[in-house]
Structure 1
Amino acid sequence: MTTPRILVLPGWQGSGPDHWQSRWERLYGDQRVEQDDWHWPKRGDWMTRLEEAVLADDRPALLVAHSLGCQLVAAWAAHSRHTDRVQGALLVALPDTERETIPPQLYSWRPMPRQPLPFPATAVISTDDPFCTPERAAELAAAWGATLLSLGARGHLNADSGLGDWPEGREWVATLVGP
């Protein structure tokens, strides 16, 4: 079996150097899917970029998404004809882009897709994430058919959460790769 390449999908404003996604890129050689505009993210533009990244290599892909990157995975999967090229997805800190207090830069991410993902997925949440209640995250994970894991009160599961290199998260990636 071919080892999948890991595509890192940061959320709104990207992932800084201390974010676990950036650390994984340095430690493991994961490939970040760069976007043209991290501050005014247009859903269609981000979906196109993900499609290009998935098709850029014949190897299967494993998607590692944080925050708005999770919405990207769901939106892309609902429209792409190439989802069979994705082996699985780790979805961390699902955001609620339909909440009342959303910045105008994120309006294009409404409505949130709720179709089941056509590949295995694990959703990792925090009980005190400021961008999504645990109940809403559980609802999204269920709609997407993702296994739900809660880390307790850890904030937005980013650099400020103190995850460091986050070996536990990397173990969940390994379970998506399979034996």
Structure 2
Amino acid sequence: MRSTDATLLIVPGWQGSGPDHWQSRWERSLSSARRVEQANWDRPDREDWPRRLAAAVAAADKPVVVVAHSLGVPTLLHAAPLLPVGKVRGAFLVAPPDLDVAELDPMVANFGPMPTAPLPFPSVLVASRTDPYCSYARAEGFALDWGSALVDAGDAGHINADAGYGPWPEGSMRLLGLLQSLK
């Protein structure tokens, strides 16, 4: 599958992805990319965010590949039971937060506990060994739970603009690999 054969739904996390974030750059540079807008990026709503994602999937005129970062990952997991069967062909998941850690901001923690059901479509989970919001060991466990292929991003922080991931060519290549594996 090529990126133009699918609608790439960009699902940012808490506070959205700023203009220098790799998700925002991909949204600007890929004609098939669309951001799932939330009512309030600063006050995540565990019920509303997944519903908005499910509505965006249902409205897409092509097969969907979800590109989720941070709190966007549990947003997709909570939305999975609401999604039209077969419409989502794959997911590219990056730097999920560990929702079961007591030190998380309450705005994010209300999305917990982290869903553990397997995803009904292929997925890739990119995790950092130095993510302040999720240990690599927890990310390994998430990948097993969800049936995701795990990619070790090394010392990459939260894989966002603050960690130096505005342009993220390695991520683009990983997304391309996922797309090419999909039918």
Same fold (TM over 0.5): yes
Q: Which amino acid aligns with 2:178?
A: L
Aligned partners of 2:69 and 2:95 also within 8 Å: yes
Residues in 2 aligned to 1:83 and 1:176: alpha-carbon distance in whole angstroms: 19
What are the within-5 Å matches in structure 2 for residues 18-167 of structure 1?
Answer: 18-29=20-31, 30-77=33-80, 79-167=81-169
127-136 vs 169-178, greater mean Cα deviation:
169-178
The structural deviation recorded for 1:106 is: 2.2
Residues in 1 aligned to 2:98 and 2:109: alpha-carbon distance in whole angstroms: 11
Aligned to 2:17: 15
Aligned to 2:6: 4
Query: Structure 2: any 5+ residue segments left out of the alignment?
Result: none
85-94 vs 104-113, greater mean Cα deviation:
104-113
User: Residues 97, 170 of structure 1: CA spacing in aligned structure 2 closer, same or farther, 3 A cutoff?
Assistant: same
Residues in 2 aligned to 1:164 and 1:104: alpha-carbon distance in whole angstroms: 27
Residues in 1 aligned to 2:53 and 2:164: alpha-carbon distance in whole angstroms: 28
Aligned partners of 2:9 and 2:65 also within 8 Å: yes
Q: Which amino acid aligns with 1:109?
A: F
Aligned partners of 2:58 and 2:83 also within 8 Å: no
Percent of aligned pairs with the same residue? 47
Cα root mean square deviation, aligned: 1.4
- TM (norm. structure 2) is 0.92
Residues in 1 aligned to 2:165 and 2:71: alpha-carbon distance in whole angstroms: 19
User: Residues 55, 71 of structure 1: CA spacing in aligned structure 2 closer, same or farther, 3 A cutoff?
Assistant: same
Name the SS of the counterpart of 2:86 in structure 1: helix
The structural deviation recorded for 1:43 is: 1.3
Q: Which amino acid aligns with 2:15?
A: Q
- TM (norm. structure 1) is 0.94
Aligned partners of 1:35 and 1:49 also within 8 Å: yes
Q: Which amino acid aligns with 2:90?
A: G
Name the SS of the counterpart of 1:119 in structure 2: coil
1:175 aligns with 2:177: yes
Name the SS of the counterpart of 2:93 in structure 1: strand
Aligned partners of 1:87 and 1:176 also within 8 Å: no
User: Residues 166, 83 of structure 1: CA spacing in aligned structure 2 closer, same or farther, 3 A cutoff?
Assistant: farther
Query: Structure 1: any 5+ residue segments left out of the alignment?
Result: none
User: 1:17-64 CA distances to partner (integer Å, 9 max, x unpaired)?
Assistant: 110001111111311100001111111100110011001123111000
Residues in 1 aligned to 2:72 and 2:83: alpha-carbon distance in whole angstroms: 19
